[in-house]
Amino acid sequence: MLQSGLDGIPAVNHSSAMRANYKMQRLFVPNDIAAGAAIELDAEQSHYLANVLRMAEGAQLLVFNGRDGEWLARVAARTKKAVRLEAVELTRPQPVASDLLYCFAPLKVGRLDYLVQKAVEMGAGVLQPVITQHTQLAKAGTERLQANAIEAAEQCGILAIPEVRGAQKFAKLLANWDRDRRLIFCDESAETNNPLAALQAIRETRLGLLVGPEGGFSEAERGQLRALPFVTAIPLGPRILRADTAAVAALAVIQATVGDW
Ligand code: SAH
């Protein structure tokens, strides 16, 4: 356990598994972080800390920027409009980012927010919107996806913020695919119900996941996917799941068989 550098402030409790501290507020900041560094928050984050969370001077929280690990920080100065933090000590070092590439057809806004947050919680490392034949929404609003990814990271103690890529057409995604990366595709027309055998046969360590849009994959797309040597089709049980549910289910079975669970 690290000793606190400040009198009267208890040290952060570190679990040996380096799982996040769930009791403390965690905030993503764009600033560089180092011991003693002052972190000036922007108006929105200042308002949140000062007026929503009502944090007083001296209050503690955790900050991270996706580069410098997670730090214990304290509120060093506070007015209604501006909050300055001071970084006290490193609580968790910056981990290696997840390499899991999650490819998804953009959904309508509310469901898309949910889909991104849940995928990040489940360990997706790169978010790749894909435009398929039955995709309803051609634009995925990269900034909104990124904001959702950050929110999920704050919530779950994920220190490496997932990368959000620009939307790509289905054909281009496959044409440019790195063949050393296995692409797991959720096939709602698969003949069996159990995905485990197919997942356990995977030898590659680099993985991608592809989930279709609400309208499903077209027959042509399914045919193309099934013919590719780097693709593994998996079923997710006998029920048709909505795309956001399918993503969570697929990520759970992937993490439990060939992932980091
Ligand atoms: N409208 C389509 C269903 C689309 S569900 C139909 O009725 O056939 C959205 C996506 O979630 C699918 O393209 C697939 O990738 C995934 N999915 C949903 N249920 C699934 C299941 N039981 N097995 C595998 N993938 C599934």
Amino acid making up residue 231:
V
Q: Are residues 54 and 155 in the same domain?
A: no
Q: Indicate which atom in ligand 1 lies nearest the CA of residue 239.
A: 22
Same domain (yes/no): 226, 109: yes
Q: What pLDDT digit, counting tens, does each position of 198-213 carry? A: 999 999 999 999 999 9
Q: Is the pLDDT of residue 16 over 70?
A: no
Give the binding-site residues of ligand 1, using a 6 Å CB cut-off. Answer: 186-188, 211-212, 214-217, 235-237, 239-241, 243, 246
Q: Tens digits of per-residue pLDDT, 38-79?
A: 999 999 999 999 999 999 999 999 999 999 999 999 999 998
Please tell me the predicted confidence (pLDDT) of residue 138. 63
Task: Name which residue sits closest to atom 26 of ligand 1, judged by CA.
Answer: 188
pLDDT at 137: 75
State how beta strands 70-78 and 60-64 pair: antiparallel
In a domain, 30, yes or no: yes
Residue 63 belongs to a domain: yes
Q: Using the 3D structure, point to which of 92, 117, 147 is the last residue of a domain.
A: 92
CA of 101 to the centre of ligand 1 (A): 19
If asked whether residues 73 and 119 sit together in one domain, one would say no
Q: Are 124 and 153 contained in the same domain?
A: yes
Residue 18: per-residue pLDDT: 62
Same domain (yes/no): 80, 130: no
Hey, is 66 helix, strand or coil? coil
d(CA 142, CA 214) in angstroms, rounded, equals 20
Least confident range of 18-27, 110-119, 211-220: 18-27
Last-in-domain residue among 67, 92, 117: 92
- Do 72 and 14 lie in one domain? The reply is yes
State the distance from the centre of ligand 1 to the C-alpha of 215, rounded, in angstroms.
Answer: 8
Average pLDDT for the chain: 91
The answer, yes or no, to whether residue 129 has pLDDT greater than 80, is yes
Q: Tell whether 214 is covered by a domain.
A: yes
Task: Identify the helix (H) or strand (E) that includes residue 70.
Answer: strand 70-78
Q: Does residue 163 sit within a domain?
A: yes
Per the structure, the complete domain to which residue 72 belongs is given by 6-92
The reply to whether 47 and 69 lie within a common domain is: yes
Residues 129 and 248 placed together within one structural domain of the fold: yes
Query: 11 in a domain, yes or no?
Result: yes
Nearest CA to ligand 1 atom 6: 216
Find the 203 Cα to ligand 1 centroid distance in Å: 25
- Give distance in angstroms: CA of 200 to centre of ligand 1: 21
Give the least confident one: 100-109, 132-141, 145-154, 185-194. 132-141
Residue 168 and residue 56 in one domain:
no
Residues 126 and 148 in one domain: yes
The answer to whether residue 6 scores a pLDDT higher than 60 is no
Question: Do both 109 and 238 map to the same domain?
Answer: yes
CATH code: domain of residue 55: 2.40.240.20
Q: How much is the pLDDT for 221?
A: 97
* Whether the predicted pLDDT of 141 surpasses 90: no
Lowest-confidence segment of 11-15, 77-81, 189-193 by average pLDDT:
11-15
Domain membership of residue 189 (yes or no) is yes
Cα 206 to ligand 1 centroid, rounded to whole Å:
23
Query: Which among 187, 241, 253 is the best mutation to test ligand 1's pocket, defined by most ligand atoms within 8 Å of the CB?
Result: 241
Given a cut of 80, whether residue 236 has pLDDT beyond it is yes
Domain assignment present for residue 235? The answer is yes
For residue 162, the model assigns a pLDDT of 95
Q: For residue range 83-93, what is the model confidence (pLDDT) as tens digits? A: 999 999 999 99
Distance CA 33, CA 64 (A): 8
Does some domain include residue 1? no
Same domain, 43 and 147: no
**pLDDT in the model for residue 110:** 84
CA distance 73 to 76: 9
CATH number of domain containing 137: 3.40.1280.10
pLDDT at residue 19 is higher than 80: no
9 pLDDT more than 80: no
Residue with the smallest CA separation from ligand 1 atom 11 is 243
DSSP-assigned states of every residue in 119-164: HHHTT--EEEEEE-TT-S-S---HHHHHHHHHHHHHHHT--SPPEE
- From 115, 184, 240, 242, mutation site for ligand 1 pocket: most ligand atoms within 8 A of C-beta: 240
Domain count, the chain: 2
**Among candidate residues 69, 92, 115, the one where a domain is terminated:** 92
Q: Which residue has the tokens 């398929």?
A: 132
